[in-house]
Structure 1
Amino acid sequence: MFGNNGLVLSALGTAARAAAVALDASGRAVVVGSVSVAGQSRNFGVARYTLTGALDATFGTNGVVLTDFNGDRDEARGVLIQPDGKIVVVGESVLPNQGSRVALARYLPTGALDLSFDTDGKVTTDATPDQDMGSSVARQADGKLVVSAYQFGFATDFCTLRYTVAGALDPAFGGDGKVFTSVATENDVAFRVLVQADQKIVVAGYGATTGNITTNDAAFVRYLPTGALDTSFGTGGIAVRPMALGTDDRVYDIVQQPDGKLVAIGFALVGSRSVASVRRLLPTGAVDGSFGTNGLAQLPGSSFPTLGEAVALQADGKIVVAGSRAGAQAGELLLARFLSTGALDPAFGTGGSVSTPGPGATLLGAKDLVIQVNGRLLTAGEGAANATPAFVVARYLPGTVTGGAEAERTEISTVFPNPALGTAPLTLTLNTPHGTTLAVRLYDGTGWLVRELRPAAPLLAGAHRLPLAAAALAPGCYWVGIETAEGRALRRLVITP
């Protein structure tokens, strides 16, 4: 069971707004945003939740950490968790009489600031003479941190920054750690950064193409690891790809499929109503015509506006998106699932989507989405009950029902040795029916596939030895999963140095 019927509202301080979520190796959700406290300025707010949705008392103070950058207002907008368990948070800090700056903080798994990161765990960067706002953060294979940012002003550009592991701007990126790119003739806003498997960097957002800043087109930029534009992408490294034939369309999140294609979520203003939209691009930046209609898929028609804010990929290639829907009385959480073709998945919710109203007149909206290793979907966002903003975390089963516990699956009896180390094979004892066709896969703590231990094929019940090569894997918590036509069963596996 998670929270109250799958829903958690955390009223932190006098007002709290969540913007992003990440999962640690143990499956706990780390949610970040802003928290206001009476008599104080707005601070970075970082909360960690247990697997049941309770605030984790082993993190910070009663599960919450507040960080002040000595600004009038500090707001977190993005989060990632490093392989060593450290938590990186990015956002903005508005300093007295100086405007806003890009702000980063790095925390130890306990919630304490990591003093090896710029000596005090905090970094602020004045990227431009205008107001600077960090929007998301991604990590390269070498541990360097790439941040998307944007300026608040006129004739602004995409801003991408790269920091060393120690928190300093990296001069190997663009000469001084900062790269600016104009994607349209007016204001450009970068919302999400993605480091591809080949270490190229993709930034997604939107740009205004006329003097009217409400006329925007979705935009994508790809850089080489040096910060130079990747001319093999779009036109000179830039791809402007509208989300619909509307007057205003924007991209808020992006993921890369294993085949290199890019899937983006946002919305398009069609008439006077916003419609959540999904766009898929080929690795070249061209529209993928095999997806939806001319590379575009939208949520089903409704008399209420919808916004798409986050996207994630399931292990089976299905695409899950999250956002919000204006309901009859208040805003509702919105989830939808698409097949790899761009068609809505009829096995999910009602006709491929599900909306969740809050209790009473609670206003809800999802800002980010992650998929747990057991396939459950977890969203984080904003809510307001009695006009008091709060963190909202919701968990969904992979099918149609909000919250609730899944029945325990018993296909895996034992995993041995556990912990695993060195080159010893893994012995898996199965309780499956005779000759069941199944695949055995290894996942990391956040649900990403690490390797396939055995391809799908009939396998008898009993003990089976599988190659693991634990010495080649980073120490930490993993999951061994067997996957059949009926679903997935999991057992935790610890790998030690």
Structure 2
Amino acid sequence: MRKILLLFLFSLSSINYAQNPGDIAQHFGSLPGFNNAFNSTATQPDGKIVMGGFFTAFKGVTENYIIRLNADGSKDTAFNTGTGFNDYVYSVVLQPDGKVLVGGYFTTYKGVTENRIVRLNADGSKDATFNTGTGFNDYVYSIAVQPDGKILVGGSFTTYKGVAENRIIRLNPDGSKDATFNTGTGFNNYVYSIALQSDGKILMGGFFTSYKGVTGNNKIIRLNADGSKDNTFITGTGFSSDIKTIITQPDGKIVVGGSFTSYKGVTENYIIRLNADGSKDTTFATGTGPNNNVFSIALQLDGKVLLGGVFTAYNGVTENRIIRLNANGSKDVTFDTGTGSTGNIYSITLQSDGKIIVGGVFTTYKGVAENSIIRLNTDGSKDHTYDVGKGFTLAVYATAIQPDGKILVGGRFTSYKGVTENRIIRLNADGSKDISFNTGTGVNGFGFSNYVSTIVLQSDGKILIAGNFTGYNGVTENYIIRLNPNGSRDNTFITGSGFNNVVNAIALQSDGKILLGGYFTTYNGATETRIIRLNPDGSKDNTFTTGTGFNSGANSIVVQSDGKILVGGEFTAYQGITENRIIRLNPDGSKDNTFTTGTGFNSGVRSIALQSDGRIVTGGDFTTYQSVTENRIIRLNPDGSKDATFTSGSGFNESVYCVVLHSGGKILLGGAFNTYKGVTENYIIRLNPDGNKDTVFDTGTGFNGFGGFGNYISSIALNPDGKIFVAGNFTTYKDSGESAYLIALHSETSLATENFTNSNGVSLYPNPVKDILNIDLVDNTRISSVKIYDLQGKLLLEKASNDIDVSSLSVGVYLIKIKSEKGEFTKKFIKE
């Protein structure tokens, strides 16, 4: 029997389309864009774009400093960069043969030493025919490929292959030094930009003041093809500060941008156009120019000039970090950037169709979240066909599932699917925005720190939201508000001046009263120290007497069926008496002395879940309970003593933020941990009732991501259909980046509660089923056998039929294995 069972289980595991508990049930979109700037691009003839920069992730998935995108903005998986570079990329240049030159500050590529320069094949592999030896000893900032295949390299380096080469060198196509390019002692400071002229002369800009030991070459110079200075290019005293970028026009004129504020001793703020001889082109009138650095210039075919940088004004008028100029230097008013970018722009790339790819460290464009990349139409509007990620932009902290399947979502995010959504949204069951829930300008507060931390749905459909905010839809609402089902403020819930600090926890009583806990010390102007009970209309319930309350924050509140109230948090005292991080209160607010916790916990309690038998699962930051080691998880008996039947061993290595009871007495846990009992478990796990890991719930590599506040799971919500909604600060699950900050996972129930049609046209319905389970084959394929097993692998029924009578089975979950002429498939179903 054991051999048969093992073969059966193996056959299940070999079905490539089968899903299991813990698999992804629903995506909500990847994190948009990059996690840091890209500053150099190379556009291929097929429209694909190689990007290099400071980033280490794209759409929430690791991409170390280089990536190639398809024309639609998706990652080109044919360009395999492996572990990528170990440090910044500053220059990416495409050769005519499709190979890609990359320069920067890196010292490895795919884990192999490559000092600051490498050439890649079209598939991302290293081009071994380009031999750079020990490479450069410092930054490579700029690379330019000549028509003859020779390669100019500029930067801050002073050696190449161990030989002195001061900030400039020309290489042969094989990586050897081109000895015909004589730079002598080179430059005395950085070379940032190289531009090739059609006559073979070479423009260089940077921070240098001398070349070959001769001073008077201030930040710009033009060299002849042999490396000698071109004395026909007369720059006089040059620029007052460094040049970041140089672009040559077809007519030989030269557009220069950087940090300078003068040229030849005359004021020229950050941008200028020069004639071919180095004189200022007076037909390009910029007025007072930008008010800060220009990092990127792109020249359109019609002669218009795009500028990107740090500036927030041009010629005295607000222009946030991007502008398009007419050929005469005036602003092009047909290019509407609105409020522009919130962060620096380092790269502007023109595509053959006129669309514009913009990169930098910005987080919004025209007030909508855009993480370091956007493609613009020719009029400055966002090109919505360019898909660089369309999920939430920041962490999700709270979810609530409505009876109709709609999903309330709250957190720190400011947009969803490219549309502004400030910290609160309601989604339809398919993940689209529910437009009937109108939040207006949403939740505001103290800048980046504001968020919605908890959402509670009332039985009448009204919605309580709380957190760290001071307004909703432009009206003052301090830390709490109740919304109508359509998203409008419920004016029957009157909170006055509200709370003076964060609300972390909400618990509804059966009588409609509302318990609230957090870090507040006042409510509506009166002292209320970190806990309060409100009447349904928002007034204080004076029958709940808390005295001096807690001395620190309350994080979790659970109401028992007998009306008693469990509270967990950071506090060490209640009403002036020691109570370490957990307490049970009577319905009137007095301490329940039948709940004895002794010395309690040594650190915070984050979440409490009450089992039907009265036992209490508690998670948090703590490492001891009653002075005995208990790492972040414990189950207590109803009297407060430890439940010794729950064995957590060495427990978790970091905090548990949420505890949710699942079917069959199992326990879902989320938090900041990445091990349980010494074994890797990234931020989520399901435990059996005895505290051991439930291996049926397979989370694989778990959650990971990129965020300034670390990675964690903050909320787990159970959908009536069995799906598990998980929210937090993550961008990948099982190495998939298609759900940032919110995802739905399968449970046994969700897998078994769907009518099923497989790719071979086999339909299974209804599911759940009471009597007859139907199997339809749309092309009349013959069924050769049907077998039904319990979850332990025991064969219960067997026949060859399109309708199976399952009325004799007990209520529960079963496996059905169907064999036809087109193969086999296995599926779960529920017997009602």
Structure 2 length normalisation: TM-score? 0.32
Tell me: higher relative CO, structure 1 or 2? Use CA pairs within 8 A at least 6 residues apart. 1
Structure with the largest fraction of strand? 1
Whichever of the two has the greater Rg, that structure is 2
